[in-house]
Chains A and B, each alone.
Chain A
């Protein structure tokens, strides 16, 4: 048959439905990593939408000038970095919670997210720094005690090894500083529409080009996330069962490669689109829009 005669000639197996020649059908239930990945990515998109929704509400903090909020938050973060008193740090944290309440942000949900990951991990990884080897002081939790000092692989091991009170205070201080800084950042982002936030950075003296890159990164991060969700969904439709570790690696690898290729193509097109509208390498902005 010629190609012309073959045009839209259905193969025999496609002439009827229900004629499937599978040999391995997958029994059981799955904890498919594709489903989990999709769920997580969708949650990120929903969070992004939620942030914009809170930022657009009519609240006292939402109505404040974006530049003023940006300056206050930067100054507070710097101040938190210098403050050593834990009661004062706790006071600033309480202050951020009150502000969240005023801005009608769901305090409990946000606090769980803020403190649940980064500060907690910081606290865990700072445990070795709390030991008396680094910060000497009053013993709080004794780990090891001996009558004499020893040397192991050239390292002096003290006669006793413990978490000191001063060490624990330093660790808590670090954890509080990070958590409060994150709370302040969340407060700023959730009460200021993204466009105004980026413009206010420019007013603070951050170069226009850098602001433009940040703004584009934010925009395309969401776009690539949406693209990734659909890629994973397309794959989910044709994937069944628990994949082996190597198959998972292969899938993630090819997804990264495909997404990278697409983002590279998109980069060229975006640049051309910018050039087509007069971009010559100098980002030109007006700042009156944010007032």
Chain B
């Protein structure tokens, strides 16, 4: 029986009083799952991911991770916070925000050094990750001078080097070229095969389909409207249209009017 990793029980959160980002969410995520959070822009996907990463906390309801309630007070405990961030890795949508050192090598080494690994282990891990992601030739480059795809790879490397059990990725393929996107999907599937739990937020239905088995759909009203198998959800056009993930437009070829579905991605 898979272990419950994250359990949301009537969780609500908002940055401004009276304007909830999401409202009374209840669901569970199990170890080893690949889960997609689907929803249009502004539906609360990123905020939900940040809560799973222990960056923000419920204003109402209870959020548990590994069976323990996660709140601000608990995360202020160094030992707990350290263990948590080692287990749960978060990759931001905007790679820019993750890259703040002056050298790619230092960027990747930053996490393990902070977490208290020995210098020998840090060096070994950084070299391994550089090799695995084929970033060796970028090791001395300044992160902010890299291309979008390279920045994303370095951001992923800086989290993978900590070997987390759960990988949370916010819009992982946004702004990536098809080759890098394919590379990322293969990497995530491989990591899932090795037991990692993968959680992604996206409005790219194709990515959700190839990468995940389960999807949670958030409506623009900030409510969870569906929790089911991804392959069934991507075929449910009525649902996807209702949550503004696909749209329809019509045009005329000759004398025949066609209706096409427009998919966000």
Residues on A lying within 8 angstroms of B by beta carbon are 3, 6-11, 13-32, 35, 42, 45-46, 49-50, 53, 227, 230-231, 233-242, 254-255, 257-258, 261-262, 265
Contacts and interface: CB of A to CB of B under 8 A. Distances in A.
Interface in B89-107: 89-90, 92, 94, 96-102
Contact of A15 (B82, B92, B98, B194): B194
B242 interface: no
A19 B163 contact: yes
Nearest to A47: B16
Nearest to B93: A230
Given A17-B165, A227-B96, A10 B190 contact: yes
B117 A23 contact: yes
Interface residues of B, number: 56
B55 interface: yes
Contacts of B128: 11, 13-14
Contacts of B67: none
B78 A27 contact: yes
A239 B89 CA distance: 13
Nearest to A238: B111
Interface string B181-196: 0010011001100111
Interface of B: 15-16, 19, 50, 53, 55, 76-79, 81-83, 85-86, 89-90, 92, 94, 96-102, 110-111, 114-118, 121, 124-125, 128-129, 131-132, 134, 144, 158, 160, 162-165, 183, 186-187, 190-191, 194-196
12 contacts: A8-B132, A8-B190, A14-B163, A17-B196, A20-B86, A22-B86, A23-B116, A26-B79, A234-B100, A254-B101, A258-B99, A261-B144
Contacts of B101: 254
Given A17-B195, A53-B16, A231 B116 contact: no
Given A23-B118, A230-B94, A10 B78 contact: no
A7 B179 CA distance: 14
Contacts of A255: 100
A240 B16 contact: no
A104 to B, nearest CB: 14
Contacts of B15: 42, 45-46, 49
Contacts of A8: 132, 183, 186-187, 190
B100 A231 contact: yes
Contacts of B116: 22-26, 240
A265 B195 contact: no
Contacts of B92: 230, 233-234
B132 A233 contact: no
Contacts of A241: 78, 82
Contacts of A265: 144
Which 4 residue pairs spanning A and B have beta carbons closest together?
A24-B116, A11-B128, A230-B97, A26-B78
